[in-house]
Amino acid sequence: MSQSKTKLAVVIALTLPLCAQVKITPQGKDKVSVEIDGKPFTDFYIGADTAKPYLHPLRTADGKVVTRGYPMLPDVPGEAHDHPHHRGLWFTHGDVNGYDFWGNEESQKGAGKGKGRVVLERLDKVTTGKKSATLNASFAWKIPTGETLLIETRKMTFYSDPQMRTIDFDITLSPQVEVTFGDTKEGMFAIRLAAPLEEEQPKDIPMPKRTGKMVIASNKSGEKNVWGKRSPWLDYSGQIDGSTVGVAVLDHPGNPRTPTYWHTRAYGLLAANIFGLHDFEADKSRDGSLTIRPGQPLRFRYRVVIHPGDVNQAGIRDIYTEYSNVK
Q: What is the DSSP letter of 61?
A: T
pLDDT of res. 4: 37
On whether the pTM is more than 0.85, the answer is yes
Q: Distance between CA atoms of 230 and 250, rounded to whole angstroms?
A: 12
Q: Which residues contact 86 (CB under 8 A, 6 or more apart)?
A: 68, 190, 192, 269
As averages over each run of 10 residues, the pLDDT of the chain (327 residues) reads 37 41 93 96 96 98 98 95 96 98 88 91 91 97 97 98 97 98 98 97 82 98 98 98 97 98 97 97 96 98 98 98 95
Q: Which of 42, 68, 60 is nearest to 197 (CA)?
A: 68
174 and 121 in contact (C-beta within 8 Å)? no
- End-to-end, the C-alpha distance of the chain in Å comes to 40
pLDDT of res. 106: 87
pLDDT of res. 111: 66
Taking each continuous run of H as one helix and of E as one strand, the counts in the chain are: 4, 20
Strand 99-100, strand 114-115: pairing = parallel
Enter the CATH code of domain 3-324. 2.70.98
Look at the alpha carbons of 210, 216, 222, 226 in this order and tell me if their dihedral is positive or negative.
Answer: negative
Q: Distance between CA atoms of 182 and 291, rounded to whole angstroms?
A: 9
